[in-house]
Chains A and B, each alone.
Chain A
């Protein structure tokens, strides 16, 4: 079955760019699925960051849209998150996920990776 695994630096300097990848195993990223990024800041709830359709298209959280880029690399069977101009408020556990459909929610999740923004 499809499994997801996040990877990337656990520590990012303030004002820098956070870059994470989500490796997809047990399936192809080229089957016209939607793939999402979600985060949870310490002591807070879940926040959707954005999603990408591997057949074309992206949706972003308006509150983060100016700083977020989500992309797919089919040759590596992974998708990525870039979040620029980070601050301490971007410290969180970041999850990647595969959607059931564009709008039906996230059915398969990675285990999450913790990113801390340091000053």
Chain B
């Protein structure tokens, strides 16, 4: 089980966002990913293997963490960054699990 916090984060453009994802048991960093999801659009892979940015993702997005605690940091928030963010892990028995999401909204 992946638990994301906070459920909702209210920030202003230009600020830094810190999103947390906690796993109920240790997860290999290789198998931890982050997505951005906007209403009416497909999810977008931001980070894979806990800290590697996917193709085309701006460097203001960064991922970190290990074991059971992982973080997505977004520096200098842009208006287009306000969305729902999900963490995801791949674990035994060969399945993916998503966190419940963090809603990043404009303050």
Contacts and interface: CB of A to CB of B under 8 A. Distances in A.
B96 A109 contact: no
Interface stretch (A8-16, A17-25, A40-48, A74-82): A40-48
A112 B88 contact: no
A104 B35 CA distance: 12
Interface residues of A, number: 24
A83 to B, nearest CB: 16
Contact of B31 (A104, A110, A112): A104
A62 B93 contact: yes
B33 A105 contact: yes
A36 B100 CA distance: 19
Contacts, number: 65
Contacts of B101: 45-46
Given A62-B93, A104-B49, A47 B98 contact: yes
Contacts of B42: 95, 97, 109-112
A106 interface: yes
Nearest to A106: B45
B43 A109 contact: yes
